[in-house]
A and B are shown apart, each in its own frame.
Chain A
């Protein structure tokens, strides 16, 4: 699928690895909340609800072997954010990592930005494989020597040691957001980045933590007039003055920072006029854009709303150039997904034995699915329910539904395409819409920037797949 062509050239995906335990009892802190490959693809970072970041590294020995290039091992783990409490407003601040974004590598160390609802942190990840030994005043294990027992001097030398990966917070960008941060995006100038919350977007310099510029503010003077919120924002991959932000009403605004200091006035407004015959009670809710991503080329951008993925040409604002239905069969189920009654019933069995899971508070129709481009922009991918994820080949050529499941968890097992039966006669290997498990959803996916390796996060497991070669 990553390459063009007929059935013979069709890409098949194989299982490579799965990270995390297969417990029925899922601790809330283990729920994966973001996944991101680094710019080289060598590192893969995940953030979870407990505020931790786990970084996997591509196995250096397997990297060159075509069959096992999808081997990733734990490289580093650290606690990025802690739960906090806003005493002024009597509100908890969740430690859940909303987004991780890598900086392009400049030297031996790696840098990433991680954010929760309120605070962004810049982390430096560096390796240490030597340590000094032979101190005069200290033993090797750290205990201090009795000075009177020192009779001769020696020069400490560096000795090799087991590789240790250090993560240290280099910058903390705090107190700039009243509302919940939903996106961060590093600029192509590699000096600045933006952070977006529900009503405002701020521009930061990576070196400066005590100031940020507000570049978008959609908060009205009278809050009663508030009709939409910002849902995602991203910088253009090549033009350092351009960024886009999406809204809960299904619009995308492209802004040019050269035009004015405050970009409340958009340069371009991307909106598809709604088909009046399809209008329903849920139209506005399902049009809310949950993710926006520029293509690597910078010519296109992709948006994800509840039922579909749309590809927009930046030169055309009136409508998307391509639209792909992710799970159109859910349209008739919108009522029950909103009310969540049958979803709850399905969830009850799984969560009976565990603590009250916050899942029951979530209504599926508000699930925020992400989407991503393949390295060459020829395929786009997004997640769905029942641990299904979908890939769409550009140009509307082919699409496939695959599943991240325990059954296909042997190395090099090929993933079989899945089908959902929307109605009528159900064939043997099809899954009926009513038997979809809405508690198992894939919200976060990421694609290796240069290779056909993908990472797909289920609730608390990370699946890594590679293409069969």
Chain B
């Protein structure tokens, strides 16, 4: 690589464009110059000149080495910083998720409620909450879907049962799949469903009518949360969509479990 540079020394004196290329050229040009000086040193055999030449070549060699080592350390630092930035970018995803779960920012669900607590929880009888029910269907969904009770009074820590009814008035079987929503959003994290009919395909034959139960409870910690102190009504809203044959829908919240 040094050969073309050796053969074209005049290029060293050419105006370099850009600081970096100039620096590189200086580095590369420094080498043949140093070599040339060494060659001269051996050919001329003039002591004072030789000493002088050696001193000069050594100084320039030292300078070159200094520059080289300094450049190497700077480059190493820059490379380390770059790798560090990329690593931070990857680490930021789980770290941010942990931060959100710890502070509850952005309405993220509190890290997984304990499913065993159903057996051990005690109802908080003083706090009565009204749960209202809402039922919707997508515009192209032809089922008749409605709740069988408009509201129900529950207390936190007590399991409750509620019913919806769905009827398929058409002459062909329709497969539906539903999702739900809870308002207020903050209360949604305390609303735990033990079993329901959502997120799985439900098939109704022509002119068939079924009862769809929802078995749920409100976490007893609802009563001790200061943000929930003024919440008296929770609305549970289900929406049914029509599912195509063989369609696989991703289960929501799967990645958070």
Q: Do A and B come from one complex?
A: no
User: Chain B residues in contact with chain A, CB under 8 A?
Assistant: none
User: Chain A residues in contact with chain B, CB under 8 A?
Assistant: none
